[in-house]
Structure 1
Amino acid sequence: MNTNSTKANSTLPADSRTEFSTDPSYAAETNGGRDGAAIFAGANEHDHAVSGPSNFETALELEARQFAARSHASDGQGQRPVRVIVADLEFGYDRTRNGGYRTAEGKDAENDIRWPFHRVACACWFVLRFDPGYDVPVVETITVAANDEASEQEITVRLFAALELCPDALLATWAGEGKDLPVLRRVASEYGLLLPPQLLDLSPYARQRLDLCRAVAGRAAFPHLPEYAAAVGVPCKPSPSKQIGQLVECEVWDKVRDQCLADVLTTTVIGLRHLAAHGAIAIHPQRSLLVLADAAAKAMPASKFVSTRFSPWARGQVAGARLKGTVFRAA
């Protein structure tokens, strides 16, 4: 289920992977040993202990960082497009092997069917390209594959091929470090597949990856995707989260595909906002939503989530951005 979108304009600094790394040790190493909290507070060894930047100073610093990002991206000398691959997986359960494990372990067995017994039932990934000097991304491909057309191994091979094709691409997920990526590594070892570059580093803060759940939370409690999306006003999940396992087992593949696509769309919006807020990209936030909506509609024209929720929301965001003053929206 691949599709190529019409080329759009976009931008991302070529070395932006280091700019939004969530690795605390990396931040300390590259900023004179200061931790992230000190950096964002504007603190250094010369600051007064009780003083901090004013709102005006903070705004100036933010504008300067955004200007630097735009200037860096617009410099055509030596700049190359940068890619981000946003991915999500849905799973079924290997109840046969889990039953054997429970029989062997008896009362010592885990109560839940944990990730080693989760099998890839559906996957979706977007390949986004950010071209120097442009303010919306190019959606190069959208892929959605499920078990009615491909096995777990075949789906994984296709995803790994996309990652191998763009070895410098950043792999973005929502909470992927907690289950999606361990499952992919299990599939690779079980079927003798070669891991793509993005999955080689086992650190949850690897520079080749961005787990947005961890990135937006920092040291706060990790939020669920629909929880965070509701808080920031982004459409999410056509079906409640806990229903997806039942949909997989009942082989309702149209709804499984729609759920997986919706998760990637929501994660992509959150990712673009996150990277823009950190000065890693300089995009037009509303027009970028239309690019995503158009590409998703072409990839899955039967998607009810795209046609009834995401596309109307994206158009509303663009219309609202053109208005001046307070914009009141229906609850």
Structure 2
Amino acid sequence: MSNIIAIDSDIDRLARKLEHEARLFAARSRNAEAPRSRSWIVVDLEFLFDRSRYEAYSIAEGKDAEEKIRWPFHQVAAVCWMKMEFVRGEPVPMIEGPFVLAAGEMNERAMVSALFATLENNPDAIVTTWGGEARDLAVLRRAAATLDLQLPHQLIDGSPYARERLDLCRATCVQADSVHLPEMAAAVSVPSKPSPSKKIGVLCEAGDWSAVRDQVLADVLTTSVLAVRHLAAHREIECHRADTMTAIADATLSAIPTSGFARKTFAPWARGEKAASQLRGVVYRAAA
């Protein structure tokens, strides 16, 4: 009986050794296949209502017309994007932008064309939004078809789960209630919109492009912070989080030094995150 036990023990040890070696081989294979760098382009849009066309539709349809001015009648009034490239082994990403365009300086076709050109020039970058699948991307597809533009490949797949895109709202909420960006930001102590969400349409129609630019920029910055946290938690990236927040703030102040939101709200918050990361123990924060 003792000989049988010894044989079983040897077999078990061999099996464990083979399993361990197989896991090491699989890990090495994954590391070898993993790209040295990965990029995400965070995008946000603001809109004007095409009221004249909506009124024509409303008259034609009469009492059957939709009372809400829905996305086919939304025109791009402002766009902002920022690219984050995470290189394996580097503590902070390389950042391009942010870039902000608004109707005060160019029309819808020019703004959409500029965004599409950026996406075409970064074919491996994942387009990242908060709730973009619900409206923003539909408007961009309408604009492309209407304005005789070709969609970048990231926007062609109509599936909301397309690998070329990341909708953080959908990815975060899954089957829980969908939440608004400022709602999520307030819950996790990240600065967000300088103006209430429902006021942005009024600002666009009033032509207050300075305020509109700051709003669309703020949405990209907030979404970028949430993206970094989400991707790190899901083992998609590795970075020094506080230094990454500082890098985003510095890039923003360099690109858009006139932004009140960046200068007065986001940059001080990023510096606070950096300071807190150097402290030990529990850090207590005052409610925003």
TM over 0.5: same fold? yes
The TM-score normalised by the length of structure 1 is: 0.76
**Alpha carbons 2:72, 2:139 under 8 Å: kept:** yes
Quick check: 1:317 aligned with 2:284? no
Of 94, 99, 103, the match for 1:147? 103
Alignment: residue pair count: 260
Provide the residue aligned with 1:267 in structure 2. 223
Q: Which amino acid aligns with 1:232?
A: V
Distance 2:83 2:273 in 1: 23
1:243-287 CA-to-partner distances (Å, cap 9, x unmatched) read 000000000000000000000000000011000000010111110
Q: CA deviation at 1:300?
A: 1.2
Question: RCO higher in 1 or 2 (8 Å CA, sep ≥ 6)?
Answer: 1
Percent identity (aligned)? 53
The TM-score normalised by the length of structure 2 is: 0.88
SS of the counterpart of 2:133? coil
Residues 226-305 of structure 1: pairs in structure 2 closer than 5 A: 226-305=182-261
Q: CA deviation at 1:242?
A: 0.3
Q: CA deviation at 1:78?
A: 8.0
1:104-133 CA-to-partner distances (Å, cap 9, x unmatched) read 000000001000000000000001111121
The answer for unaligned runs of 5 or more in structure 1 is: 1-67
Of 174, 191, 199, the match for 2:155? 199
Flag as ranges the 4+ runs of structure 1 deviating above 4 A: none
Q: Which amino acid aligns with 2:180?
A: H
Distance 2:162 2:34 in 1: 25
Provide the residue aligned with 1:168 in structure 2. 124
Distance 1:143 1:308 in 2: 19
Provide the residue aligned with 2:93 in structure 1. 137
Distance 2:270 2:35 in 1: 30
Distance 2:36 2:284 in 1: 41
Provide the residue aligned with 1:13 in structure 2. none
Residues 1-331 of structure 1: pairs in structure 2 closer than 5 A: 72=31, 79-331=35-287
SS of the counterpart of 1:177? helix
Give the greater-gyration-radius structure (CA): 2
Q: Which amino acid aligns with 2:267?
A: S
Q: Which amino acid aligns with 1:262?
A: A
1:159-212 CA-to-partner distances (Å, cap 9, x unmatched) read 000000011110000000000000000000001111101001000000000000
Distance 2:49 2:119 in 1: 25
SS of the counterpart of 1:99? helix
SS of the counterpart of 1:184? helix
SS of the counterpart of 2:264? helix
